[in-house]
Chains A and B, each alone.
Chain A
Amino acid sequence: MGGEAVIEVRDLTMRHGTRLIQQGLDFTVARGDIFVIMGGSGCGKSTLLKHLIGLATPAAGEILVEGENFFCASPEQQKAMRRRWGITYQRGGLFSDLTLAENVAVPLQQYRRLGKRETAELISYKLALVGLHGFEDYYPGEISGGMQKRAALARAIALDPALLFFDEPSAGLDPLSSRRLDELIVQISESLGGTVVIVTHELASIFSIASNAVFLDAESRTQLDCGNPRTLLDHSPHDPVRQFLSRGGTEPGHTGVSP
């Protein structure tokens, strides 16, 4: 904790049509944090992320990202804000009709005027960073799920974002690939000096990388607790939080895989 607030969520209510998803969300993400949004299936974790990145509009409450409210900003300001964000999606979100190189090129062409050679060089570098050197001309459909996630990460970091958002980065990956991806996320965010927001329910990920977290409860439709998951495991006053972090109490102590 500590440091300046990058994302401030104030009394946020999220609805899907008339159906209430979550209400009374109130937390702060500090600069340099690796912040995990956790909770059981269907509690609205991904929906919260969609609100943070401006794809869904809050029903009530306020979200400030670096002091600005995305939903009150002009289109130019919104574009400038999005330029500083890198996002990977649950299902990858790679453009399936473009090669990996072309995928990474999309944000570069969009925001930076670079020469052909410079662009190609930058693309190779970003792909090599995520361990996909030499896969420039492959299509997303031709590589494995883990590689797709890493390619999506390469696209997300193309513009050296200050803020990285991940929606279930390790969903559908085997434990080793998922751990490697976690390590990659930590390394890249450290070298970029950025802040990371991750939606996940993988305990191993949560304990190994999170510095701060918020727990969303599906039943009461609100956030139950907020803080470092290692502390929450033993000291949260809320039963569901401790149950969740200890896998229903079946695992003695935390099972964190230290990075």
Chain B
Amino acid sequence: MPFRVSRDGADTLLQLQGDWTALAAPPEAAELLRASALAPSPSRRLRLMATGFHWDSGVAARLFSLARLCEAEDIPLDTTGLPEHLQKLLALASAVKNPPEPHPPAPGLLALGWNACRAFQASLVGFLAFLGELVLALGRVFSGRGQAKGRDLLYFVELGGPRALGIVALISVLVGMILAYLGAVQLRQLGAEVYVANLVALGMVREMAPLMTAVIMAGRTGAAYAAQLGTMQANEEIDAVTTLGLSPMEYLVVPRLLALVLVMPFLVIFANMVGLVGGALVAMGMDVSFTQFITQAREAVSLADVATGLVKSLLFAVLIAIAGCQAGLQSGRTSAAVGDATTRAVVHAIVYLVIADAALNILYNLLGV
């Protein structure tokens, strides 16, 4: 037996013995307490004794639970019979009796829904407030009273433009091929393979090139903006910007936004061309020559079609920059908060993109372009 219960005058004596560290399952606290109830004493006092007793942290933790149980049941516990170190550790663990405030109870389903509505409202208001501040800052920068630096603009243009060409090319060529295959299956039944060119060209120029480029830039540049600004927030650099008399909006957000707005149209034009090449590659496998494909594509696409795509890309650039910078500036000061900010930047950007794309398509449809 690892322990023995006896009576000593008015007290119950719990004698711990042997090498508890070697036991496969040392007795549980509740078990010890139950066992000691076998020898009820008038004073209800429980005295712990130990002889030839080996212990480790696991045993100490068990005795700590026993002390807690005794406390809950109002049984006085005397540990003076334990080895000295163990006594000290137990005393240390019980020293601070400062239970933290209980967590508020989990909200019910109705409250959860209400909270979600409130959060949505708050994010909408936040977005509009950010947009308003941004417009004011842009106004100041363009009237020459702003604090944005030209050097920053060039830096962000390089970061977002040339370095994104590789990934944009890869995605565009694949999307071009996907569009071609999609059309080919249907058009082959009609013997009209050459019209694959129309599908690819219109699909890329009006829809896929702006949208896919924007998704890439949201994941690449939007996330980078959020991470940069979030880290600056964590480092108190944003505070420093403010107290040095600079406006974070003008000094940090405007160069990032303008850089993205500048590079997006060029990236989309590039994506259009690469996408056509991708489509042409598939078409060549269906006995449509490259020249035939390009000629057909040129007839299908008007300048207005290209313009609709570019207008989309400008709006997308603004939305990606806003999502990234807003998430970054409103980030908390911990590493986890910076991670959250980055996630939020990408998720918000993609939601904005899809909503804006749908809205623009409806508008184009109404305008007949």
Q: Could you tell me which A residues sit within 8 Å of B by CB distance?
A: 50, 53-55, 79, 82-83, 85, 87, 89-96, 106-107, 110-111
Q: List 9 A-B contacts (CB under 8 A).
A: A50-B239, A55-B239, A79-B245, A82-B243, A91-B236, A93-B236, A93-B240, A94-B237, A96-B235
- What separation, in Å, do the CA atoms of A146 and B235 have in the docked complex? 16
B245: A residues at CB distance < 8 A:
79, 82-83, 107, 110-111
Number of A-B residue pairs at CB separation under 8 A = 48
Contacting pair A54 B243 (CB below 8 A): yes
B77 within 8 A of A: no
Contacting pair B243 A92 (CB below 8 A): no
Contacting pair B243 A53 (CB below 8 A): yes
Q: How far is the CB of B73 from chain A (nearest CB, A)?
A: 31
Contacting pair A110 B237 (CB below 8 A): no
Contacting pair B236 A92 (CB below 8 A): yes
- What separation, in Å, do the CA atoms of A110 and B241 have in the docked complex? 11
Name the residue of chain B whose CB is nearest to the CB of A110: B245
B356 within 8 A of A: no
A89: B residues at CB distance < 8 A:
236, 239-240
B147 within 8 A of A: yes
- What separation, in Å, do the CA atoms of A89 and B240 have in the docked complex? 8
- What separation, in Å, do the CA atoms of A85 and B239 have in the docked complex? 13
Contacting pair A92 B147 (CB below 8 A): no
- What separation, in Å, do the CA atoms of A85 and B243 have in the docked complex? 8
Name the residue of chain A whose CB is nearest to the CB of B240: A93
For the complex of A and B, the 5 pairs showing the least CB-CB separation, nearest first, are A93-B240, A89-B236, A93-B236, A82-B245, A79-B245
Binary contact readout B230-255 vs A (1 if CB under 8 angstroms, 0 otherwise): 01101111011111111000000000
**Known: A93-B236, A96-B237. Contact between A106 and B243, CB under 8 A?**
no
Contacting pair A93 B147 (CB below 8 A): no
B235: A residues at CB distance < 8 A:
91-94, 96
Chain A binding site: helix, strand, loop or mixed by DSSP? mixed
- What separation, in Å, do the CA atoms of A53 and B234 have in the docked complex? 18
- Most A CB contacts (10 A, CB to CB) among B236, B237, B239, B246 go to B236
- What separation, in Å, do the CA atoms of A110 and B240 have in the docked complex? 13
A50: B residues at CB distance < 8 A:
239
Name the residue of chain A whose CB is nearest to the CB of B147: A110
Contacting pair A106 B244 (CB below 8 A): yes
How many of chain B's residues touch chain A, expressed as a range? 10 to 19
- What separation, in Å, do the CA atoms of A50 and B232 have in the docked complex? 17
- What separation, in Å, do the CA atoms of A95 and B241 have in the docked complex? 9
- Most A CB contacts (10 A, CB to CB) among B235, B237, B239, B244 go to B244
- What separation, in Å, do the CA atoms of A209 and B246 have in the docked complex? 32
Contacting pair B239 A106 (CB below 8 A): no
- What separation, in Å, do the CA atoms of A121 and B232 have in the docked complex? 28
Contacting pair A55 B243 (CB below 8 A): yes
Contacting pair B243 A95 (CB below 8 A): no
B240: A residues at CB distance < 8 A:
87, 89, 93-95
Name the residue of chain B whose CB is nearest to the CB of A82: B245
Contacting pair A107 B236 (CB below 8 A): no
Contacting pair A110 B243 (CB below 8 A): no
Contacting pair A87 B243 (CB below 8 A): yes
- What separation, in Å, do the CA atoms of A83 and B237 have in the docked complex? 17
Residue of A82, A90, A91 touching B244 (CB-CB under 8 A): A82
Residue of B232, B242, B246 touching A55 (CB-CB under 8 A): B242
Q: How far is the CB of A89 from chain B (nearest CB, A)?
A: 4
Contacting pair A110 B239 (CB below 8 A): no
- Most A CB contacts (10 A, CB to CB) among B231, B239, B245 go to B245
Q: How far is the CB of A24 from chain B (nearest CB, A)?
A: 22
- What separation, in Å, do the CA atoms of A85 and B245 have in the docked complex? 10
- What separation, in Å, do the CA atoms of A91 and B239 have in the docked complex? 11
A111: B residues at CB distance < 8 A:
245
- What separation, in Å, do the CA atoms of A90 and B240 have in the docked complex? 11
- What separation, in Å, do the CA atoms of A110 and B232 have in the docked complex? 19
- What separation, in Å, do the CA atoms of A26 and B298 have in the docked complex? 76
Name the residue of chain A whose CB is nearest to the CB of B149: A109
**Known: A93-B236, A93-B237. Contact between A110 and B242, CB under 8 A?**
no
- What separation, in Å, do the CA atoms of A158 and B318 have in the docked complex? 36
Q: How far is the CB of A87 from chain B (nearest CB, A)?
A: 5
Binary contact readout B201-241 vs A (1 if CB under 8 angstroms, 0 otherwise): 00000000000000000000000000000011011110111
A92: B residues at CB distance < 8 A:
235-236
Q: How far is the CB of B40 from chain A (nearest CB, A)?
A: 42
- What separation, in Å, do the CA atoms of A40 and B231 have in the docked complex? 27
Q: How far is the CB of B219 from chain A (nearest CB, A)?
A: 22
B232: A residues at CB distance < 8 A:
95-96
Contacting pair B246 A106 (CB below 8 A): yes
- What separation, in Å, do the CA atoms of A53 and B147 have in the docked complex? 21
Name the residue of chain B whose CB is nearest to the CB of A167: B236
- What separation, in Å, do the CA atoms of A89 and B246 have in the docked complex? 16
Contacting pair B244 A107 (CB below 8 A): yes
